[in-house]
Structure 1
Amino acid sequence: MRFTDKVVLVTGAGSGVGRALAQGFAREGATVVAAARSPEALEQTVKLIEAEGGRAAAITVDVTDSAAVARLVGEIVARFGRLDVAVNNAGIFAAGTVVDMPEEDWARVLQVNTTGVFLALKHEIAAMRAQGSGVIVNIASNIGAHTRRAGLSAYAASKAAVSALTRTAALECIGDGIRINAVSPGPLDTDMSKRPGETEDDRAARMRESLPIGRVGTLDEITGTVLWLASDDAGFAVGLDLVLDGGASA
């Protein structure tokens, strides 16, 4: 119960990794604010948390809208009195080579994955500075700063920027008592790791050949890693970009 009496924000909490993270924090005692664009998906996340006896609230937000992110953080502080932990997980995936990718797709990937994290940091840090403490974990990717894949130019650029932004913000904020780190996962047990038309069995066969560990990561594994980084157990970790990819970038 490392997060008893803590208020935790998770963006992109309507499904997949974000939902698993929200549930993980709630199981360890946190009051969780689940944020995403879809109110229906957020409602399901809150129901799952409450069914296990946890505490959660849902707030819809578009992370690319600075005013909306400011309202999100302001509402959290107004309702709960503080913001102890923020996990910036919202992101999208799009494939395409530099030559072939439509410019609007490039712009959208950068807008959500990079600018969305920048805006979240901007407003989260302001609230945490006012209270004199806080922890932020950004979800980057092993694709970008650690590995590259042909056909994933925009995604790699956007996530490499998150890694660099995380480290810079960490240096800027640790003097204010705010710890900022990132986790860079490889393929996880979500639909995002499947190729078009691929089944789970197809993916499993591909991972046995392509990853040193021979499988995708589980949601429990990334949840455990993020919760550790957000906890006092990782109190000396500042500006860390922790790669969790089964050896792909070793």
Structure 2
Amino acid sequence: MLAEALDELTEEDTWRMIVMATSAEDWEIVRKGAAKIGMPLKSTEGPIEEEMGLIRLVLPAPDGGQRQVLSIRTGPATARLALPQPRGMDYNAGDLVVFDPQLLEPVPEDPEEQQNFVPPFAAVRMLRPGGYTSYFFDGAAPSEEDWAEFTEVMAERGWPMWVYSDENYTVTHPSTGEPLPGVFGWVAVPPNVTPAEVDALLDDATERWVHPLAWLDLAREIGVEVERHERIVKEYGL
């Protein structure tokens, strides 16, 4: 019935049908709709899970506002969140979300701006949660070399990590009292990774840093080296 109706739909109505069919996970209809509007898909059956570039998903925030989350478009109207979110949010990295494919901002006319433009779309509903858990880290920023190695370790494991601090964030040197560049953020791990594994990896990845990194909430959750992390938080004024 839906397939027959597609032939007579306008492009705008076809997109609406794609969103409805995506929410219902009727992938056959989604493919027919994509074909009608000229969007090529690599797969021919089953769920559509492709890498179709970065987008910004606009989602509700707990304070009643909105958050824009960098995401990977996986289909005509689906995207997977790419950034870890703080605890307490209704969504996190790894979640598959249905979105409205109508652009919320016009594409810039300037060719140079177009290259850096990440299109924003409004989220419609959660299709499938990824089950990821986020863990907070905080401390003095390491050297560029150490940080590059740290981010590489996370990327190798497929653990989304994002720094939420900016260049104005500082911590206190425990000996001199002078300000030090600081860094804090979240790392998200899939459901098959235990908190103890996260602790062990963070410990191994940062043990050679000049200044230690703290992940107090995680330490308390598993009861490992809680006093050490509490000391780091106190000494560095985190």
Which TM-score band applies after superposition, normalised by the shorter structure? under 0.3
Higher helix share: 1
Provide TM-score, normalisation by structure 1: 0.23
Higher relative contact order (CA 8 A, sep 6+): 1
Q: Report the TM-score, using the length of structure 2 for normalisation.
A: 0.23
Instruction: Report the structure number with the largest CA radius of gyration.
Output: 2
